[in-house]
Amino acid sequence: MSNEKPSKNRHEDPRRKVGGLRGAPEETKLAQLSMPTSNERSKPSRTLETFPNPKPERDYLIRFECPEFTCLCPKTGQPDFATIRVEYVADALCVELKSWKLYLGSYRDEGAFHEAVTNRILDDLVAATRPRRARVEAEFKVRGGITTTIVATF
């Protein structure tokens, strides 16, 4: 018969110990609880990575939406929030989405007018992928009672 006391919670497994399974190495228990260090996190970058279009002989639309875009108002320094919508028809290259996420994050601490940032995003997408056509729509949230939507096409 076991010397372990029965658990007060009838759904709790009495073989479990605080911090992990009985017999698990301490390092495993700590690794399960730890957050990535600042060196392990992905940092914002203006580099857009690409990969070969898997079907370059066909026109097909690639569409993605980024609802958490942030930049700063160049006049007040206040944050501006936007949803960025992208549509493009790739030629030889497609943009890799993790690099796209890091690219958009690079604007977080930069002051930019809505019109300028939208056109720059389109220019950078076009420079990286050379698409057959592209469209970037930036829908900025309300500030001072005004919403702004900028649409740039290539």
User: 124 - beta bridge partners?
Assistant: none
108-145 residue pLDDT tens: 999 999 999 999 999 999 999 999 999 999 999 998 89
Domain 50-153 annotated CATH 1.20.1180.10:
no
* pLDDT for res 43: 80
Q: What is the DSSP string of 35-49?
A: PPPTTTSPPP-SPPP
39-95 residue pLDDT tens: 445 688 889 999 999 999 999 999 999 999 999 999 999 999 999 999 999 999 999
73 counts as catalytic: yes
In the chain, which residue ranges form alpha helices assigned H by DSSP? 26-33, 97-105, 114-129
Query: Which of 73, 91, 123, 124 is the catalytic position?
Result: 73
Query: Per-domain residue ranges for the chain?
Result: 50-153
Of 72 and 21, which is predicted with more confidence?
72
Residue 83 near residue 117, CB atoms below 8 Å: no
Of 33 and 152, which is predicted with more confidence?
152
Residues whose CB is less than 8 angstroms from the CB of residue 141 and which lie 6 or more positions away in sequence, other chains included: 80, 81, 82, 147
94 counts as catalytic: no
pTM across the whole model? 0.73
Taking the C-alpha atoms of residue 96 and residue 50, their distance in angstroms, rounded to an integer, is 5
Token pair belonging to 114: 């809505």
Q: What is the mean pLDDT of residues 90-106?
A: 97
Query: Which of 66, 71, 80, 94 is the catalytic position?
Result: 80
